[in-house]
Chain A
Amino acid sequence: MNSNITSQSVLILTSAEEKSVIVIDAPDDSFVQMIKRTGGPNLQSCYQCGTCSGSCPAGVRTNFLVRGIIRKALLGLKEQCISAPELWYCTTCYTCTDRCPQDVKPTDVIKAIRNIAVAEGYMLVPHQKVALKVLETGHAVPLDKESWENLRESVGIERVPPNASGHPEAIEEIRKIAKKTGFDKLIEAKEEEQ
């Protein structure tokens, strides 16, 4: 079979090509067990109703399909799950979690899969940069220009707030935490790849 039947003007969302058969002689559930540790106990209760994807504002505009990711996870297709770029289109709005009839907690499942992805080296460069900012300034959105201090002054409050922006020792504590958890290494590894 080929996919020439679609005209050029039509956006191809699916293909008519045959997909390779997913062969699972001995289902490997180690990935499922990893996810369940923080993604909730009910992952294996999913009956693929699609309420999650039907509720998903990211799924409307991207190829992010919560139901599909959960199905792949259940089939033990770890690499496909953690390497999928669309894994990062979930805004964690929790609408699926509020509606899932099986209490799967799909948002927590996605976050658990993201944790595994990051641990195995799948981290987007802009995400790595945000993480670095927190280690450097104590804040993901830092007070990094004089103009921001001027803005504060113009509304009648002190130029530097009482948060980590004015407390270098607080930033030092964040660095120590990142060193202890190995988070600094996760970011480092990515930098070397660039």
Chain B
Amino acid sequence: MGKKSFYHFLGCIIPHRYPSVEKAVKLVFEDLGMGLLDMEGATCCPAPGVFGSFDRITWATIAARNLTIAEAGGYPITTGCNGCFASLWDANYELKHDEELREAVNENLAEIDREFKGTIEVWHYVDALYSHVGLEKIREKVTRPFKGVRMALHPGCHWMRPKILKQKDDSERPHIFREICETSGAEYVPYKDELICCGAGGAVRTADLKISLGFTKQKFDSLIEAGGADMMITPCPFCQLQLDAGQVEIQKLYEEEYTLDILHVVELLALAFGHEPEEFGLKTHLQYMQRKTEPNWERLGLEVKLT
């Protein structure tokens, strides 16, 4: 049996701001025997809360254009961003179920000689890991368990909500993302506001940065109230941007300092699988670049390499 392969939808934030995630997912998928194929000429998904809020038909057409790239090659799509997942999954679903929308979108796509056919599926890395690989096989690859490291989670919104439509997990008591993260051996730390939004979505980060960071700050304060953690894990680079670079922005706008390491789930797994942080550039997170700091190696249980 050939290995399972996906078209890799990069989106904007992973390749343009958090390339460490792009590198880490390549390491992790290769370790797990899954292929990632380049999606040449894919654009912005486009951002669901932004373009979806502006003009639904334009949003659906641009998303459909991205879907047609994968349809041409015949492989499903995987993406590591909740926002990209929402746009591509939602558009794929709506175009398959809404005849009127599909007609309007295909009329637009005809301008660029493309047609949405509805022949592929869209998966988040989380789905690829949980449903296509399985927890047992992931656990087998863990050679550097995060023993004694306290891990808070930020699952974000758009992979599992709206729950009736997505049917991924119970959005009030989700367990899938937690179980994937727990394969790393880290100790899960619950906190009251784990499930609230990071504040970035829906074009709010663009509209009013301070208000959007208010969500983020509420999450950090809630975590501190719960006793704190050594790191926070998210399956979304936009949430990661908000939680990571957001700490620097919070310091400016709210004059409060937080220094929490924020990792994408594939970065956590790359480390748990024994890859060194330098292999995918953990140090390049915007928080560290802007503050001229480094990850808190000791708290993360990682050895500091003297260079």
Residues of chain B lying within 8 A (CB to CB) of residue A46: none
Q: Bound complex: CA of A156 vs CA of B281, how far in Å?
A: 8
Q: How many A-B residue pairs have CB under 8 A?
A: 214
Do the beta carbons of B207 and A163 come within 8 Å of each other? Answer: no
Selected interface stretch from A7-15, A69-77, A122-130: A122-130
With contacts A180-B108, A183-B54 taken as known, whether A167 is within 8 angstroms of B19 at the C-beta atoms is: no
Q: Bound complex: CA of A21 vs CA of B108, how far in Å?
A: 45
Do the beta carbons of B16 and A165 come within 8 Å of each other? Answer: yes
Q: Which of A93, A118, A139 contacts B157 (CB 8 A)?
A: A93
Q: How far is the CB of A153 from chain B (nearest CB, A)?
A: 9
Residues of chain B lying within 8 A (CB to CB) of residue A112: 56
Which of A105, A141, A143, A163 neighbours the largest number of chain B CB atoms within 10 Å of its CB?
A: A163
Q: Bound complex: CA of A180 vs CA of B289, how far in Å?
A: 41
Which residue of chain B lies nearest to A153 when distances are taken between CB atoms in the complex?
B19
Q: How large is the interface on A (under 10, 10 to 19, 20 to 34, 35 or more residues)?
A: 35 or more
Residues of chain B lying within 8 A (CB to CB) of residue A119: 55
Do the beta carbons of B207 and A140 come within 8 Å of each other? Answer: no
Q: How would residues 98 to 129 of chain A score, 1 for a CB under 8 Å from any chain B CB and 0 otherwise?
A: 10000001010001101100110001101100
Which residue of chain A lies nearest to B286 when distances are taken between CB atoms in the complex?
A151
Q: How far is the CB of B47 from chain A (nearest CB, A)?
A: 5
Q: Bound complex: CA of A160 vs CA of B214, how far in Å?
A: 34
Q: How far is the CB of A182 from chain B (nearest CB, A)?
A: 8
Residues of chain B lying within 8 A (CB to CB) of residue A174: 43, 62, 65
Interface set of B (CB-CB < 8 Å, partner A): 10-13, 15-17, 19-20, 22-23, 26, 38-44, 46-58, 61-62, 65, 108-109, 111-112, 114, 157-158, 161-164, 171-172, 195-197, 199-204, 206-208, 211-212, 214-215, 218, 279-281, 284, 289
The 10 A-B residue pairs whose C-beta atoms are closest, nearest first, are A155-B281, A94-B161, A93-B197, A92-B202, A170-B41, A141-B12, A161-B15, A91-B202, A167-B41, A138-B43
Interface set of A (CB-CB < 8 Å, partner B): 38, 57-58, 60-62, 88-95, 97-98, 105, 107, 111-112, 114-115, 118-119, 123-124, 126-127, 130-131, 134, 138-143, 148, 151-152, 154-157, 161-165, 167, 169-171, 173-174, 176-178, 180-181, 183, 186
